[in-house]
A and B are shown apart, each in its own frame.
Chain A
C-alpha cells in the first residue's frame, strides 16, 4: 500500500451526506481481521448492498454502484466526515477500494489523523467550494479535479484554484513517502532522557 501522495487528477464520487461515521464506512463485523486486507468489500456495505452484505445485490442508487462513478478515486463527502469510532479500518477500507482522497468541509480529528498515515489525503474545502463541486458532478459525472499536495491547491471545474490546509508534517511525510514512526524512533535519546527525569508512579504489572 503506497503511502505517498503528490498530485492526483480524476473524477469524484459524490456522497452528499453529513456526519458519515466510521461505522458506516466499515461496520464492526469487519473488525475481526488481524491484517489490513479484505476490507474494501465492506466499504459502505450497509448502503451499498441489499441486506448490508457484499453477498447481497448491489443497491443501484448508491454512488459506488452507479456506472458513471465506477472509476472515481476521490470521495466528495458531506460535513464532519469520519466521525465516531477511531477504527483505522475506515481509511484502510477506503484505500483498499482505491480512493486516493476525500474532499469535505470538515473531518473528524481521529479520522483525519488515520487517513493521512495511510496515504489517503483529506482535503478540507469551504462550503461554497463544496457546493460548487457537488453541482459540477451532478451536471457532469466526468468532471475532473486536480489535487496538488505540493502546492496545496485543488483545481476547480470552472477554472481557478482553491487552496487547502494540511498539517505540514503529514504533508511532508506524504510527499516523501516516509512514515511517522521512523521520525519518532529517531527521538529515542530524547525519550530516554524524558523517562529518566519523569519516573512513573504506575506499573501495570503490579496488580
Chain B
C-alpha cells in the first residue's frame, strides 16, 4: 500500500477531480476537464439531452471534430459526399447542428484545425498534464502521454458529461509498465507497445490504468509517447499515463490552448508536482528490457498476437489448450499457418496513418525510408496525415512530395483505413501492413487482413511489397 504522503501520478489526478468520493457501493463523481466529441459516438447522446430538455453544462470544456466518417480522398467535397455517402453526411450534419445549438466549438470539414480527435487534442495544447480527458472513443488513452488521465467512454456517458461535466466512476487499479534500457536502431515506440501487449495479453490491463515508466519511455519524444499510450486500450487498460517532464513542457509551450505568460509559470509549478512520488507503489508492476526489443509485427486478429519481425508464428502446441481454438480461428482468417514466418509475406496495401501513427514524426520516419525510392509495383500505399496541421507541415517541409514521388497516395486528414467507414478500406482477402492499432477481423474492410507495425516497417514494406525489416532496407 502507498502511504498517505506518497502517491502515484494516477492517484494525484484522481483525487483532484473528485466531486464526491466513492462510498458504500456508490461510485465516485469525477469532474472532467476536457470532453472531446466526434460525429460517430455523439448523436444519441445529444438526443438524450434533448429528450430531457438539458443543455450542455460546459461548452468551454468541450471540443468537437469530424474524423471517422470523413473522406480522405481530396476530390470528395461536402457536396459530393452527400451523394456518395448520405448516411455519413447526415451524421456530420447532425454534429454540426448539435454543436451550433449548444455553442460547442467544432472543427468541421475544411477547418484548418480539424483532424483525428486524438491528434488535435495534444496538437492544440488542449490536453494538459493533470487533466481528466474523456471522449466517446477508446483511444482517448492517447492523451495520457502528456500526463493526463484520459479514457474512452460509451455514448450514455458522453451524455452524462455533456449534461453534468462529470462521470460516475469506480477507482481503477494501477499498473506500472516499466521499459528499461535503450532501444536498438530501427526499434520505435510502436514496437514497445506491441511488445507490451504481446507480453500482458489484450485483457492484461483490464480494471487497471497503466503508467509507463523507465529509461526507454523517458527517452521518447512526445509523439512516440502518444503512440505508446494510444494502444493502452489494446492491452485492456482504459488509460495509460506518462509522467510529465521537460519533454512534455517543451512540447506544450506556445500551443494555442496551452496557458501562457504568468499562467504558464503557475501551470509549470503545478505540473512538476504530478509525477509519482518516490516510494509510492502500484497494484501491479511489470518490467520489459527495452534494449532487447525488436521491430514487432502482428500476425493474428488481435493486437496481442504479435511477434518480432524476424520470428515465426507460434506452433499451435505451444498455445494453451483453452486458447487454441481461438488461435487457429485467427490464423484461418489470416490464411496463415502455425510456425510460418511473416517476413517476406507479400502484401497488397500499406497504410500509414491513424491516431497511433499519423503525426509529423511518424510521417517523417516513413519519408526518410522512402526518400528517393519507389513503392513496389502493384502495391497501394496510403499516407494519411492525422490532422490538417500535420498535412500542411508535411507539405511545407517536402515530406508529401517524397510520398508522391515514391508512388504513394497523399490524402486528407482523417481516420481513413483504420476503420472501414469512410470509403478507405481493404478488399476481401487483401493483406495490409498498417500503422493503425487494430487488426480485428474486418476492421479495415470485410475480409481484409491486417499486419500492425511501425511507420518504419510500413515504409520498408512499401518499397518491397512484402513484410520487411526496416533494418535490411537501411543497411
Is the A/B pair a real complex? Answer: yes
Contact between chains at B154 and A32 (CB < 8 Å):
no
Contact across chains for A169 and B26 when beta carbons are under 8 A apart: yes
Complex alpha-carbon distance, A110 and B155, angstroms: 11
Task: Kindly name the residue among A80, A86, A194 whose own CB sees the greatest number of chain B CB atoms within 10 A.
Answer: A86
Instruction: State the interface size on chain A (CB cutoff 8 A).
Output: 63
Chain A's nearest CB lies how many Å from the CB of B388? 13
Contacts of B267 in A (CB 8 A): 201
Shortest beta-carbon distance from A65 to chain B in Å: 17
Contact of A168 with B25 at beta-carbon distance under 8 Å, contacts A18-B323, A28-B419, A198-B31 already known: yes
The 5 residue pairs across chains A and B that have the minimum distance between CB atoms: A168-B25, A114-B154, A80-B203, A34-B43, A88-B154
The reply on A52 being an interface residue by CB < 8 A is yes
Q: Mask for B303-339, Cβ within 8 A of A = 1, else 0?
A: 0000000000000000000110110010000000000
- Contact (Cβ within 8 A) B41 A181: no
Cβ-neighbour of A205 out of B60, B207, B322 (below 8 A)? B60
30 contacting pairs across A/B (C-beta < 8 A): A17-B325, A19-B203, A21-B302, A23-B438, A23-B441, A28-B421, A53-B446, A80-B206, A83-B203, A83-B302, A84-B438, A86-B152, A88-B136, A88-B154, A106-B203, A109-B207, A110-B154, A110-B238, A113-B154, A181-B159, A185-B54, A191-B166, A198-B31, A200-B61, A201-B259, A201-B263, A203-B257, A204-B34, A204-B59, A204-B104
Q: Assess the B137–A18 pair: CB atoms within 8 A.
A: no
Q: Tell me the complex Cα distance, A80–B170, Å.
A: 19
Given A29-B420, A86-B153, A204-B105: A184 in contact with B33 (beta carbons within 8 A): no
Interface check A142, CB cutoff 8 A:
no
Q: Is the beta-carbon distance between A205 and B105 smaller than 8 angstroms?
A: yes
Question: A188 an interface residue at 8 Å Cβ cutoff?
Answer: yes
Query: Chain B: how many interface residues by the 8 Å CB criterion?
Result: 87
A167 within 8 Å of B by Cβ?
yes
Q: How far is the CB of A171 from chain B (nearest CB, A)?
A: 9
Is A63 part of the contact surface with B, judged by Cβ < 8 Å? no
In the complex, the answer to whether B63 meets A110 with C-beta atoms within 8 Å is no
Question: Across the interface, which residues of A come within 8 angstroms of B26, CB to CB?
Answer: 168-169
Within 8 A of A (CB), among B190-213: 202-203, 206-207
Q: Contact between A35 and B419 (Cβ–Cβ < 8 Å)? A: no
Contact B443 A80 (CB under 8 A): no
**Contact, CB under 8 Å: B236 / A83:** yes
Q: Is the CB of B47 within 8 A of A200?
A: no
Q: Which B positions have Cβ atoms within 8 angstroms of A?
A: 16, 19-20, 25-27, 29, 31, 33-34, 40-41, 43-44, 47-48, 52, 54, 57, 59-63, 68-69, 85, 87-88, 90-91, 94, 103-105, 113, 124, 126, 128, 131, 136-138, 152-157, 159-160, 163-166, 168, 170, 172, 202-203, 206-207, 233-234, 236, 238, 256-257, 259, 263, 267, 302, 322-323, 325-326, 329, 419-421, 438, 440-443, 446-447
